[in-house]
Amino acid sequence: MNVVTNSRNLPENLTEYVESRLAFALDRHHDRVGRVSVRLEEKSGWFTCRVLVELRRVGAQRHGEPVVRSSNRILVVTGEGDRAHPAIDLAVDRAASRAVREFERSRERTSERVVAHLIEDDEDAANVA
């Protein structure tokens, strides 16, 4: 994980806070999360936190094993606030929610393909008989 800041007025423990929040939020899918990059900026007392998360093996899967159509994706989310912690919390929560949504969509697409394949097989069998 790469944490980059460009403000001199940040609390010393902010890096540890970001890492612990990300670890907690993405722990459920830790095996499918690649690199994570965080940038925190302060402009005129307003904080913007930008989180980039690499998702691995997003796409068609069966029994946890990647199939030919799996791929990596990058999520980019931001959070803003008048303090650093709320901006970080918002960005991390959004990143975790989007990651879960991407993984669920890939599961739904897989089940749709399997059902479509079974229907085609049934139609082929009926045409042969």
| Contact by Cβ (8 Å): 47, 33 | no
Mean pLDDT over 46-71 rounds to 69
Angle (CA) 53-112-95 rounded to 5° is 15
Q: What pLDDT is stored for residue 32 in this prediction?
A: 81
Report which of residues 65 and 15 the model is more confident about. Answer: 15
| Contact by Cβ (8 Å): 50, 38 | yes
Domains for the chain: give ranges and CATH numbers.
2-128 (3.30.160.100)
Residues forming a β-bridge with 62: 65
Report which of residues 79 and 34 the model is more confident about. Answer: 79
pLDDT at 112 over 90: no
Mean pLDDT over 24-42 rounds to 84
DSSP run (H or E) holding 100: helix 84-128
Mean pLDDT over 87-101 rounds to 92
Mean pLDDT over 81-86 rounds to 93
Mean pLDDT over 53-65 rounds to 64
Cα gap 52→101, rounded to integer Å: 16
Mean pLDDT over 26-51 rounds to 86
